[in-house]
Structure 1
Amino acid sequence: MGKIIAIANQKGGVGKTTTAVNLAAALGVLEKKVLLIDADPQANASSGLGVDIESIEQGTYQLLEHSSKASDLIISTETPNLDIIPAHIDLVAIEIELVDIENREYMLRAALEEIEDSYDYIIIDCAPSLGLLTLNALTASHSVLIPIQCEYFALEGLGKLLNTIKSVQKYHNQNLDIEGLLLTMYDSRLRLSNQVVQEVNQHFEGLTFKTIIQRNVRLSEAPSYGESIINYDASSKGSENYLSLANELLTKNA
């Protein structure tokens, strides 16, 4: 059975999609069969892997409303062993449409049952909110990975997210674990970056990944070419960081 990991943080700009895309690609390169689900209406994970989101007719929207089977929505990518279920801007409407549906928090979990055994890892890129889309992702997942940027407001909102996770564990998914906190956008020259690393490690000892994702120009450029960092520049610092994270994740789950 594949492991389902949600990449979540209701704060925007923390490196969530960058992590979803590049961790998925790194796991693929390390010969794991991976599916990336784009559950963010902005569809950045889809375009970041070269999917033309204007031409997408079916994706996560149809997956959540159960109008198409998961297996019919999968698109293969240029990255070895990596498939994607893309998103489209119409995903914005799903939260309103699911409101009156019974068991609305379980729509994604039910949709993934059919394909769960076909992959080693299923990575879900969540929207930057704690709405019904993110709730569906957390209810469907075995664990949640939380990216935290090494900046001033890093820990702001983290308490809220951890409370949401506790609530999901209590009411919807008692098997949900925290995979780990991932420090992103680290700049070793900045005292602030080092302070945040120290603070997070102090408060969340044992929960934080040893790998830290450093600020890297190549990492910022890759999405504009529709490529993961591993396809775009395999020798870059960003590529090294995400391969290190993938290895750490595999060791943890061995």
Structure 2
Amino acid sequence: MVVANQKGGVGKTTTTVNLAASLALHGGRVLVIDLDPQGNASTALGIDHHAEVPSIYDVLVESKPLAEVVQPVPDVEGLFCAPATIDLAGAEIELVSLVARESRLQRAIQAYEQPLDYILIDCPPSLGLLTVNALVAGAEVLIPIQCEYYALEGLGQLLRNVDLVRGHLNPALHVSTILLTMYDGRTRLASQVADEVRSHFGEEVLRTSIPRSVRISEAPSYGQTVLTYDPGSSGALSYLEAAREIALKGVGVSYEAPHAHIGAQSDPSMVEGMQ
């Protein structure tokens, strides 16, 4: 699953790491591939990513096996990360001259032999070769959209790129999931944006939206996802519910919105047999 939106600050990295942690807590084996040179996903998962650490750069540019750079995430069993280092900033240019430059990540994933239920790829906020590598490697695209003014601006270009990649390099690729982030139920703007996104994308939009939350913002500075930083917070519960929705969607089960929203979310038995 490729988490993409070339607009910065919409919650791509936050969504990647918290959905990954949620899916792992639900019992899945999950790999996060950090393709953003800033390495924020690696930081949030508590993974060391200074310049000497073997990273996704070595996989893309030096053809190192993915298994040699993947690290287990300390706090969450079943969660793994292929970190990004600052070297990745130059990878866009270095990839240009390499053979099969668009499909290097795809090949690395195909050669990775550890069993996994989900791979989530965190993309940089651009539509360059790193994002193209992610789109060629992925089966689905998840687009986080923040519930603020200009939310849909620039999305057209991303959707056109998805169509181009599907037409030329990866016929299976499709936008499967739209997640509304930074939702503030007290504002009319948030509900207007949510309505606009739902009317535009329909069934792809998850019923669960992610609230604007101080806890979600604080967690990365402690090298944690919100799921381990504050498991009872509204942000953690929302990501758990969104992950449940995604997993049920993936196995073709219709999603029932819980009646007592928070109570249902905090019940650990809700996902038994979900996989």
Q: Please tell me the TM-score bracket, short chain as reference.
A: over 0.9
* Aligned counterparts of 1:188 and 1:116: Cα–Cα separation in 2: 44
Amino-acid identity (%): 49
Structure 1 residues 21-80: Cα deviation after superposition (integer angstroms, max 9, x where no partner) = 000000000000000000000100001111232265211101112431111111111212
Pair 1:128-2:113 in alignment: no
Number of residue equivalences: 250
- Give the distance between the partners of 1:62 and 1:131, measured in 2 at CA: 18
The amino acid across from 2:10 in the alignment is V
* C-alpha deviation, 1:101, in angstroms: 1.6
Q: Which amino acid aligns with 2:26?
A: L
1:26 to 22, 26, 30: 22
- Contact 2:65-2:112 within 8 A present in 1 as well: no
Match of 1:236 among 230, 233, 237: 233
Q: How does 1:84-95 map to 2 (within 5 A)?
A: 84-95=81-92
| Structure 2 portions without partners, runs of 5+ | 252-275
Give CA-to-partner distance per residue, 1:87-117, whole Å, 9 cap, x none.
0011011111110122110010011112266
Please, what TM-score do these two structures have when normalized by structure 1? 0.96
What is the letter of the counterpart of residue 31 of structure 2?
Answer: L
Report the residue type matching 2:144 in the other structure.
P
Match for residue 63 of structure 1 among 59, 64, 81: 59
- Report the Cα distance in structure 1 between the residues aligned to 2:113 and 2:88, rounded to whole angstroms: 22
| Cα pair 1:16 1:125 within 8 Å, conserved | yes
| Residue matched to 1:106 | 103
Q: Report if aligned partners of 2:230, 2:236 keep a CA contact under 8 Å in 1.
A: yes
CA RMSD of aligned residues (A): 1.1
CA distance in 1, matches of 2:83, 2:159: 27
SS in 2 for 1:147: strand
Where do 1:28-177 residues align within 5 Å?
28-54=24-50, 56-77=52-73, 78-115=75-112, 118-177=115-174
Among 185, 188, 197, the alignment partner of 2:194 is 197
8 Å CA contact 2:6, 2:158 repeated in 1: yes
Relative contact order higher in (CA < 8 Å, ≥ 6 apart): 1
Residue 158 of structure 1: how far off its partner (Å): 0.8
TM-score normalised per structure 2: 0.89
- Unaligned ranges ≥5, structure 1: none
Farther-moved stretch of structure 1 (55-64 vs 207-216):
55-64
Q: Partners in 1 of 2:143 and 2:114 — Cα distance?
A: 25
State the SS of the aligned residue for 1:201: helix
In 1, distance between residues paired with 2:5 and 2:19? 16
- Cα separation, partners in 2 of 1:249 and 1:190, compared to 1, 3 Å: same
> Residues 171, 212 of structure 1: CA spacing in aligned structure 2 closer, same or farther, 3 A cutoff?
same
3-state SS, counterpart of residue 57 of structure 1: coil
- Aligned residue for 1:18, secondary structure, equals helix
* Counterpart AA for 1:194: S
How far, CA to CA, are the matches of 1:10 and 1:237 in structure 2?
Answer: 27
Cα deviation, 1:148-187, whole Å, max 9, x if unaligned, reads: 0000010000111100100010011000021211110000
